[in-house]
């Protein structure tokens, strides 16, 4: 069988086009399955927000055990325990997390989330380790969401 030189010249072009189609299809499939890099960044930022809110809540409970009441604001908490390492600001916007003392025992922490995790189910560890009050912040909607905690009850593990 004899193949003309003109047809042989098309082989690299066809192979190149096939390669491009396969790469593009793979990238599109990966984005559909895993999500875009931008979405992954948003989820990572939200996970950081949740961890920071839980750290703040833990320190507020410690403050309650020493002072018998929740602090009036986060600055008082940081000053009293000299918690200069404690992050009280959103990792992306740099805006302070919202804190409101509701009474001597109860307080509210709020953040603005970039993703909707309201349908998120707990892992086995989370279900066994976290109170329902603390678990609530993991199941946040997109946008502003708040966590209301009772310093004494949550600190006593009830």
Give per-residue pLDDT as tens, 31-49. Answer: 444 568 889 999 999 989 9
Q: Are residues 16 and 65 in the same domain?
A: no
Q: Are residues 58 and 15 in the same domain?
A: no
Q: Name the residue with higher pLDDT: 149 or 8.
A: 149
Residue 18, domain extent: 1-34
What's the pLDDT at 101? Answer: 95
* Residue 140 DSSP class: P
Phi/psi of residue 82, nearest 5 degrees:
55, 50
Residues 6+ apart with CB under 8 A from 111: 49, 53, 90, 97, 98, 140, 144, 145
What's the pLDDT at 155? Answer: 45
Closest by CA position to 70, among listed 28, 123, 109, 32: 109
Q: Are residues 49 and 67 in the same domain?
A: yes
Mean pLDDT, rounded, for 55-77: 92
Confidence of residue 11 (pLDDT cuts 50, 70, 90): low
Q: Are residues 118 and 95 in the same domain?
A: yes
Dist CA 3 CA 1 (whole Å): 7
Dist CA 48 CA 93 (whole Å): 13
Q: Name the residue with higher pLDDT: 141 or 21.
A: 141
What's the pLDDT at 8? Answer: 53
What's the pLDDT at 85? Answer: 85
Q: Are residues 10 and 48 in the same domain?
A: no
Residues 6+ apart with CB under 8 A from 70: 60, 63, 64, 101, 103, 104, 105, 106, 107, 151
Q: CB–CB of 49/113 below 8 Å?
A: yes
What's the pLDDT at 13? Answer: 54
What's the pLDDT at 124? Answer: 79
Q: Are residues 48 and 2 in the same domain?
A: no
Q: Are residues 53 and 130 in the same domain?
A: yes
Q: Are residues 81 and 126 in the same domain?
A: yes
Q: Are residues 19 and 78 in the same domain?
A: no
What's the pLDDT at 147? Answer: 87
Confidence of residue 19 (pLDDT cuts 50, 70, 90): very low
Confidence of residue 18 (pLDDT cuts 50, 70, 90): low
Q: CB–CB of 90/53 below 8 Å?
A: no
Q: Are residues 135 and 68 in the same domain?
A: yes
What's the pLDDT at 42? Answer: 93
What's the pLDDT at 158? Answer: 34
Closest by CA position to 115, among listed 37, 21, 60, 44: 44
Q: CB–CB of 155/105 below 8 Å?
A: no
Closest by CA position to 52, among listed 95, 87, 77, 85: 87
Q: Are residues 44 and 122 in the same domain?
A: yes
Q: Are residues 123 and 46 in the same domain?
A: yes
> In total, how many domains does the chain have?
2
Secondary structure of residue 129 in the 3-state scheme: helix
């Amino acid at each position: 069988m004899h193949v003309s030189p003109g047809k042989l010249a098309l082989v690299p072009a066809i192979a190149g086009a096939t390669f491009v189609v396969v790469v593009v299809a793979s990238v599109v499939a990966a984005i559909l399955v895993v999500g875009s890099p931008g979405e992954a960044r948003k989820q990572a930022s939200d996970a950081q927000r949740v961890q920071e809110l839980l750290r703040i809540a833990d320190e507020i409970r410690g403050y309650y055990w020493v002072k018998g009441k929740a602090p009036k604001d986060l600055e008082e908490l940081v000053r009293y325990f000299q918690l200069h390492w404690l992050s009280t600001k959103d990792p992306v916007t740099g805006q302070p997390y919202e804190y409101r003392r509701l009474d001597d025992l109860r307080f509210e922490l709020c953040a603005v989330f970039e993703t909707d995790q309201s349908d998120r189910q707990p892992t086995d560890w989370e279900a066994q380790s976290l109170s329902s009050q603390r678990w609530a912040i993991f199941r946040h909607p997109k946008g502003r969401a708040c966590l209301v905690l009772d310093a004494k009850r949550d600190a006593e593990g009830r």
